[in-house]
Amino acid sequence: MLHTLVRSMRVPFLVLAPVSVFLGYATSLVSALRIQYLDLFLVLLGALLAHVSVNLFNEYHDFRRGLDVDANSKTKRTQFSVNSGALLENPDAAEAVHYGAIASLFVTTLIGTYFIVSQGLLIAPLGVIGVLIILSYAPRLIQHPVLCLVAPGVGFGPLIVIGTHVVLTGEYSVQAAIASLIPFFLVNNLLLLNQYPDIAADRRIGRQHFPIVYGERKGIMLYGNTIMATCGIIVLGIVSGIFPELSIVCLFPVGFAVMIFFGIARHGISLFRLLPYLGMNVGVTLVTTVFLGMSIIYG
């Protein structure tokens, strides 16, 4: 039971939350005279539990819909699939996964409530939007290709990055808002490509994400356009003085995303050819966000 619960949390992917928190922490160092590290710990815990909650809800709802990405189906599971398959192997753990999702969200909400009580309502809008995304993603947002596309980026970009900054500084920041667009674009692209290996299985259970509704080739073109937008934000941020000149280093990992785009566009999206690019895409998302945070701190 516990093993199934942990697998359903998708632990390897939970690194996204700390990386986004780090970026919000980096922007807060520029404007805050003093950082309360207990608050930083609580923000990190809340972000991790929010990520755990949405993963568990996703696993539970996919299981209830009859997702069949397993060794015996026509669609083969990969380490990048949005569903772990743990409940297919242990169906009796379904309610434990569901309760785990609820408990994680409850603790996240408690942490958010603590910040509202101690610091005021400034953080409340971000918290409310976050809770709504967690509760609606698996049952509702996956039926809308655009909302399904941007919801992960909103969560790991503006909500976590700006939320961390607000908690640590008590104010909103243009720099934090612009910085949050980098994980917004990159996480959207991360989830976009990760949907490709599971298209057939997702279609059977009624998912309506971007590659299913608009086609696989248009999804690839969207990936390329999003990378261009990411590069544009970095360059404009530097030129406008919002980011330090050191932030130019972020273009190096983003350059690998350009390689991913041309590789997929040239060679197609068969599972065999796609897997190396999926791994590279994870690295692009994490390294670019960390590089931006470090450049803000040391630039």
Number of Cβ atoms within 10 Å of the Cβ of 154: 18
Three-state secondary structure call for residue 172:
coil
Among 100, 57, 103, 106, which residue's Cα sits nearest to residue 82?
57
Question: Residue 209: its pLDDT value, please?
Answer: 85
**Res 192 pLDDT > 80:** yes
CA 115 from chain centre, in angstroms, equals 23
Query: Residue 66's pLDDT band (boundaries 50, 70, 90)?
Result: confident
What is the mean pLDDT of the segment spanning 202-211? 80
Question: What is the average per-residue pLDDT within 90-108?
Answer: 93
Name which of 260, 266, 249 is nearest 283 in CA terms: 260
Query: How confident is the model at residue 72, as a pLDDT?
Result: 46
- Is 0.75 topped by the overall pTM? yes
For the segment 114-172, what is each residue's pLDDT rounded down to a tens digit?
A: 999 999 999 999 999 999 999 998 778 888 889 989 999 999 999 999 999 999 999 99
Q: What's the pLDDT score for residue 71? A: 42
Q: Tell me the C-alpha distance between 123 and 164, whole Å.
A: 9
Phi then psi dihedrals of residue 164, to 5 deg: -60, -45
Q: What confidence score (pLDDT) does residue 194 get? A: 86
* Model confidence at 12: pLDDT above 80: yes
23-59 confidence digits (pLDDT tens): 999 999 988 778 899 999 999 999 999 999 999 998 8
d(CA 21, CA 2): 27
Q: For 79-106, what is the mean pLDDT?
A: 84
Apex 297 CA angle, 255 and 21, nearest 5: 80
Higher pLDDT, 123 or 216: 123
Are 41 and 18 a contacting pair, CB within 8 Å?
A: no
Check residue 18 and give its pLDDT: 97
Render pLDDT for 75-89 as a digit per residue (tens, 0 to 9).
566 666 666 778 888
For the segment 84-109, the average pLDDT, to the nearest whole number, is 89
Average pLDDT over residues 168-193: 96
Sign for the pseudo-dihedral over CA of 50, 253, 229, 265: negative
Q: Domain coordinates of the chain in residue numbers?
A: 2-298
Q: How confident is the model at residue 292 (pLDDT cuts 50, 70, 90)?
A: very high
The residue with greater pLDDT, 49 or 217, is 49
Is the model's pLDDT at 227 over the cut of 90? yes
Q: What percent of the chain has pLDDT over 70?
A: 92
CB-count exposure of residue 249 (10 Å: 0-12, 13-18, 19+)? middle
Q: What pLDDT is attached to residue 272?
A: 63
